Amino acid sequence: MISLLYLIFWAGFVYLMTTWVPNPYFIALWVILGIVVAFMLIVIFLVLQFPILKYTAYDNQYKYFLSRSTSKWLVRFFLRLKIQVEGEENIPKTGVLTVYANHKSYADPFIVFEFMKRPTTFTPKMGVYKLPLVGLWLKYLGAFPIDRSSDRNTARAMVDAIKVVKSGMAMAIFPEGGIKDRDDEKMVAMRAGAYRVAMKAEADLLPVSISGTSLVKYRAPFRSTKIRVKIHPVVTYESVKHMKTSDIADMMFHIINQEIKQEKKA
């Protein structure tokens, strides 16, 4: 929907300006300005949706449709990612679920939106949560902000996060605790605490390997980047509930990295 609106705004601006100033020498200018104008109109449209986002449930279908649609627009027109997904059949359509993936780019949440077709939220660091508009949007999605400067705030937010996950909202978590070593696709750190949400919420764990995002910073928006996503079979809560979070972290670390190592060899 957002991509279509963007194209309509863009084409409409170019048409109006070429009609108003019928000079062929200005067409290139109108096309370039159309990108900016269409972008601003989309931002205005999204801001107008905020009351709906605020007063609807976290797992509201329209809210998530709008979020995915916005993500697809950014992926197609600005990040220019070509995403290949394998293993979508492994995503449970219902039930209590947490998603764990390696994290090498700020584009990773948008990639999650590409394959998660059920309402999903995230665990952004507090800096992202404080961004104008973005922070509000994340709040309305039931995001779990990680405040590394305050263990008390993080603990308080975790209580809310557990409630959100238990309600059936999937939660995507990047357990490295931020973007680590962008030039190495593999997960390079393990934070056992990232798995407490899953254990406290008695949620299944869905491991995901993402390859190619380390190149996005060098290529977007002028060159496209091929991204490969491998969705592994679910690790059920029942199969790991007796394990320590450090052991779960180690297991997920190897599942996610093994696929990336094989991808590199291929």
pLDDT in tens, 121-140: 998 877 777 788 888 898 88
* Of residues 218, 200, 211, 207, the one with CA closest to residue 261: 211
Is 60 exceeded by the pLDDT of residue 263? no
pLDDT of residue 127: 77
Q: Where are the domains of the chain?
A: 1-79, 81-265
Q: Once rounded to an integer, what is the mean pLDDT over residues 179-192?
A: 61
Confidence of residue 151 (pLDDT cuts 50, 70, 90): low
37 vs 130 pLDDT, higher one:
37
Q: Once rounded to an integer, what is the mean pLDDT over residues 10-21?
A: 93
Confidence of residue 179 (pLDDT cuts 50, 70, 90): low
Confidence of residue 160 (pLDDT cuts 50, 70, 90): confident
Among 2-11, 54-63, 217-226, which range has the highest average pLDDT? 2-11
Is 80 exceeded by the pLDDT of residue 16? yes
Q: Which fold has domain 81-265?
A: Glycerol-3-phosphate (1)-acyltransferase (3.40.1130)
pLDDT of residue 72: 94
Coil vs helix vs strand at 229: strand
Q: Once rounded to an integer, what is the mean pLDDT over residues 211-216?
A: 86
Q: Once rounded to an integer, what is the mean pLDDT over residues 66-78?
A: 94
pLDDT of residue 215: 85
Residue linked to tokens 């995002």: 213
pLDDT of residue 55: 93
Confidence of residue 221 (pLDDT cuts 50, 70, 90): confident
171 vs 185 pLDDT, higher one:
171
For 35-184, strand residue ranges (E) read: 81-86, 97-101, 120-122, 170-173
Confidence of residue 177 (pLDDT cuts 50, 70, 90): low
Q: What is the pTM of this model?
A: 0.86
- Residue 160 near residue 123 (C-beta atoms within 8 A): no
> Backbone dihedral region of 181: left (phi > 0), alpha (psi from -120 to 50 degrees) or beta?
left
The token duo for 130 is 């404080």
Q: Once rounded to an integer, what is the mean pLDDT over residues 172-186?
A: 68
- Residue 143 near residue 165 (C-beta atoms within 8 A): no
* Of residues 231, 232, 227, the one with CA closest to residue 213: 227
Among 17-21, 65-69, 158-162, 217-221, which range has the highest average pLDDT? 65-69
